[in-house]
Amino acid sequence: MSKPVFVYVSYIASTPDKVFKALTSTEATGKFWFGNAATSDWRPGSPVTFHREGKLILKGEVLEYDPPRRLSYTFKPMHDELYSGEQPSRVVFELEQQRDQVKLTVTHDDFAADSKVFASISNGWPLVVSSLKSYLEANRVLWAPWYDKQAAAAS
């Protein structure tokens, strides 16, 4: 069984600078990423953490920080025991200016062959990137219906 790779491409009417800033800003990620705010000094080797309502959701290590072209970090979900046995995977964002728009390619790989995280991110990235596009183009964000389901299940 080959190791899974997830690739998602979106075209955003924006500039590479703005897209790169949104991906690395605590304020912007907190908005478009359904409240998951990123914190890091973005030096290669430094930690990156995502907190939502004070809770650690995701952590990783910065691998590449090359504004405004390329960003990558390791990726380990922390919010659910389901994923606790897995090694960190890796996500790479590539930004390419094409006329008056940005081609954004998200490549997520380095999973174990039977990864549970893979199924989760395959659902997640289309919504995260759709929300990022809405945030930059229309100044609005989308929200994640699965958080409502989790909240309902927990109460």
Site residues (vs other proteins, CB under 8 A): 8-13, 99-101, 126-127, 130-131, 133-134, 137-138, 140, 142-145, 148
Please, are residues 114 and 107 in contact by the beta-carbon 8 Å criterion? no
| Burial 75-88, CB ≥16 within 10 A → b, else e | bbbbeeeebeebeb
CB of 3 to other proteins, least distance (A): 17
What does the DSSP 8-state code read for residue 4? P
Instruction: Give the residue with the Cβ less far from other proteins, 84 or 139.
Output: 139
Q: Could you give the CA distance from residue 37 to residue 27 in angstroms, rounded to a whole number?
A: 7
CB of 6 to other proteins, least distance (A): 11
CB of 104 to other proteins, least distance (A): 9
Q: Where is 17: in which H helix or E strand? A: helix 16-24
Instruction: Give the residue with the Cβ less far from other proteins, 47 or 126.
Output: 126
CB of 151 to other proteins, least distance (A): 13
